[in-house]
Structure 1
Amino acid sequence: MQEKPLIVGLGGTGSPNSSSERLLRHALGQCAAKGADTLMFAGLDLDLPMYSPGEEARDEKTLALIAGLRRAQGVIIASPGYHGTVSGLIKNALDYVQDMAKDDAVYFEGRAVGLIATAAGWQATGTTLATLRSITHALRGWPTPMALAVNSMVPVFGEDGSIVDTSIANQLDILASQVVTFANMRALHDLSLLQGVGEREAGGAGGQ
């Protein structure tokens, strides 16, 4: 059992240091400040072969992503809005979660999922965020009450890369807090189940 919950973030674009990647990095930093371990997959980490059902061979980057998600007790997804929905890069990475279909914790079962959508305009941010919620529900995840729709046409970052919009910074902090709080609750639940199994096994051995 991990001493700290692990929060895995995936997002960004094929270009490094995109707005969605920087927002994701900030959110994971807030998770770390709240006591969680974090792991990030962004940009080239998500440049994966096109998902194909039934294929057993996976490249190293895909195996690393799925291994990280299997260990995760919380997830944060950040996608740019491309033509009114999530980018192909993010959707393809999420399609690989199908490899977790036969896990004990199927897909994102029992995990809080924080969602961030960025786009050049409010309409696209809204539809992209709605798509992320639909995908999360399909993967049996628990979308956090706080989610971010960020209009990249409005100044968000300063010259040093820091977030200058205090409203966005506050929302990211709330999102991170909700993901970590839920992840800690899940960790305690898993630990109590393990302790219960251990006590039953010990009791059974003593009665023999």
Structure 2
Amino acid sequence: MKVTLIAGSNRANATSTSLLRYVESLLKAQDISVAFIDLAQLQLPLFSPDNWEFHPNVRHVLEAIADGDGLILATPEYHGSLSGALKNALDYVTAGQVAGKAVLSVSSAGGPLGVSSLTHLQSIVRNLHGINCSEWISIGSGSHSFGSDGRPVDEEVSSRVRNGVDSFVNLTRKLAATATVANE
């Protein structure tokens, strides 16, 4: 199984990226192959439907999404929504690259939780015909601390993240098995 993770902040040392790095470590501990895209390091030009000759960075993102069995999207919450960097990246994506794949939405917020950004992400996923995981992961301002091992300092947060990742992995495996049977 291969999972594509997209860190949707263009801020250095973003909490949402740290959270996604922890998710990455949980997936790798289960011997799951991971493609990690950090939009702070792999910047994309502003999407325009008038230009379909994509920049190499855009092609890299689209190939990683197409190659993955599942997708995890992480964003900071800005003004009740997802980051502009992640929205711009998702504007390049077509339904054929996401359709039928499990998608887990992850956020970090300056307030208690980033529920609005998660709701917006799940709406975008539905429009791309992806399958939203029944769980989502959000951490608020009180849980932004990570230890030297990359794990959240707050054990409750760490447990919630593990549960969300486990739910996502189970869904991704079920969908992959269903796709294999359908293709036989």
Q: Say whether the fold is shared (TM-score over 0.5).
A: yes
Does the CA contact (< 8 Å) of 1:46 and 1:90 recur in 2?
A: no
Structure 2 residue aligned with 1:108: 98
Deviations 1:23-51 (A, max 9, x none): 11111221222231111111334420011
Deviations 1:35-70 (A, max 9, x none): 311111113344200111142211111101000100
Distance 1:162 1:182, change over 3 A: closer
Deviation for aligned residue 1:118: 1.1
- 1:83 maps to 2:79: yes
Give 1:109's aligned amino acid: A
Structure 2 residue aligned with 1:24, among 20, 36, 41? 20
* Percent of paired sites with the same residue: 25
Structure 1 residue aligned with 2:51: 55
* Alignment of structure 1 residues 32-71 onto 2, 5 Å: 32-71=28-67
Q: SS of the residue aligned with 2:45?
A: coil
Structure 2 residue aligned with 1:154: 142
Q: SS of the residue aligned with 2:93?
A: helix
Structure 2 residue aligned with 1:6: 2
| Counterpart-to-counterpart distance in 2, 1:62 and 1:79 | 18
| Counterpart-to-counterpart distance in 2, 1:25 and 1:177 | 16
Aligned residues: 183
Deviations 1:85-105 (A, max 9, x none): 11100100011103xx4xxxx
Deviation for aligned residue 1:145: 1.4
Deviations 1:67-122 (A, max 9, x none): 01001111101100111111100100011103xx4xxxx24111111111111113
TM-score, normalised by the number of residues in structure 2: 0.90
Does the CA contact (< 8 Å) of 1:111 and 1:142 recur in 2?
A: yes
| Counterpart-to-counterpart distance in 2, 1:158 and 1:87 | 22
Structure 2 residue aligned with 1:130, among 101, 108, 119? 119
- 1:119 maps to 2:109: yes
CA RMSD of aligned residues (A): 1.8
Structure 2 residue aligned with 1:201: none
Deviation for aligned residue 1:16: 2.7
- 1:165 maps to 2:161: no
Q: SS of the residue aligned with 1:180?
A: helix
Does the CA contact (< 8 Å) of 2:147 and 2:153 recur in 1?
A: no
| Counterpart-to-counterpart distance in 1, 2:156 and 2:121 | 21
Give 2:159's aligned amino acid: N
Greater C-alpha radius of gyration = 1
Unaligned segments of structure 2, at least 5 residues: none
Give 2:162's aligned amino acid: D
